[in-house]
C-alpha cells in the first residue's frame, strides 16, 4: 500500500517518538546503575541498541535526556492536576488520593531518577534551572487548585501561606522517596495514616 504524504509524516513522527522512548528507557537504566555522571552516551547507546550518532539525532547529550525526563514529569503532574481540578471538593480529593500517592512513591525504583536529577541539580546549574522551572510550574498548578478548594469553603487563601503549605506537602512526598531508601521495611499502611494527619493539618487548618 502506498502511503499518502500525511500518513508518511505521521508514521515518521511515530517512529521518532518510539526512538526517543527507546533512548529514554535505556538512559533511565544506565543512570540508575551508573549515576548521571558515570553513565556515558556510549553506554546509553549500547543499552538502547542504537549507534551514538543516531541518538544525537534525538538528544544533544545527557543534559537533553534529563530535560526530557523532567518534561515527562511535568506532563504527568499536569494530568493529575487536571483530574483534581474537576473535583467538586479538591481538598477532600487530595486527602482521598493520599493512599494511592503514598503507595506510588514507595514503589521500588520510582525515586531512582528523581534522586539522580536532584543530586545532579546541586552541581549543574543547567539541570538545576530546568528542574526548578518544572517545579514552579507544578506548584503553581497545585496552588490554583487549593485556592479554588479553600475559596469554596470560605477559607483564607493568602498566597504566601498557601505556597509554604504546598512546600511542606511536596516535602512530605519527596521525603518519603528518601525514607524508603533508608527504611525499606516501613509500614506503608501506618505511614499513610500519619501522612493523612500531617496533610490534613496543612490543607484544612485556617
Which residues contact a copy of itself by CB under 8 A? 32-38, 111-112, 114-116, 118-123, 128, 131-132, 135-136, 139, 160-161, 163-165, 167-168, 170-176, 178-179, 181-184, 186-187, 190-191, 193-195, 197-202, 205
Q: How far apart, in whole angstroms, are the C-alpha atoms of residue 25 and residue 165?
A: 34
Cα 161 to Cα 55, 144, 147, 173, 180: the distances in Å are 45, 13, 11, 19, 29
Instruction: Name which of 67 and 202 has its Cβ closer to a copy of itself.
Output: 202
At its nearest, how many Å lie between a copy of itself and the CB of residue 96?
Answer: 18
**Rg of the chain (C-alpha set):** 20
Q: Considering the complex, state which of residue 58 and residue 199 has its C-beta at the smaller distance from a copy of itself.
A: 199
| Smallest distance from a copy of itself to CB 136, Å | 7
Residue closer to a copy of itself (CB basis): 63 or 135? 135
Give whichever of 84 and 191 is closer to a copy of itself, judged by the CB atom: 191
For residue 65, what is its C-alpha cell?
535526556
Burial label for 87, CB within 10 Å (0-12, 13-18, 19+), is: middle
Amino acid at each position: 500500500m502506498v502511503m499518502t504524504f500525511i500518513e508518511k509524516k505521521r508514521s515518521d513522527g511515530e517512529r521518532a517518538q518510539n526512538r526517543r522512548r527507546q533512548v529514554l528507557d535505556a538512559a533511565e537504566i544506565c543512570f540508575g546503575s551508573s549515576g548521571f555522571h558515570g553513565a556515558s552516551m556510549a553506554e546509553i547507546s549500547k543499552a538502547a541498541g542504537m549507534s551514538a550518532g543516531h541518538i544525537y539525532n534525538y538528544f544533544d547529550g545527557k543534559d537533553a535526556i534529563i530535560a526530557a525526563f523532567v518534561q515527562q514529569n511535568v506532563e504527568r503532574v499536569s494530568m493529575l492536576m487536571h483530574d483534581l481540578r474537576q473535583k467538586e471538593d479538591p481538598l477532600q480529593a487530595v486527602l482521598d488520593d493520599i493512599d494511592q500517592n503514598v503507595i506510588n512513591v514507595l514503589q521500588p525504583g520510582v525515586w531512582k531518577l528523581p534522586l539522580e536529577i536532584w543530586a545532579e541539580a546541586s552541581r549543574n546549574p543547567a539541570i538545576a534551572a530546568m528542574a526548578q522551572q518544572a517545579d514552579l510550574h507544578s506548584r503553581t498548578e497545585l496552588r490554583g487548585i487549593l485556592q479554588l478548594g479553600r475559596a469554596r469553603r470560605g477559607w483564607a487563601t493568602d498566597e504566601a501561606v498557601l505556597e509554604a503549605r504546598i512546600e511542606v506537602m511536596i516535602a512530605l512526598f519527596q521525603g518519603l522517596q528518601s525514607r524508603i531508601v533508608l527504611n525499606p521495611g516501613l509500614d506503608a499502611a501506618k505511614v499513610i495514616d500519619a501522612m493523612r494527619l500531617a496533610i490534613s493539618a496543612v490543607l484544612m487548618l485556617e
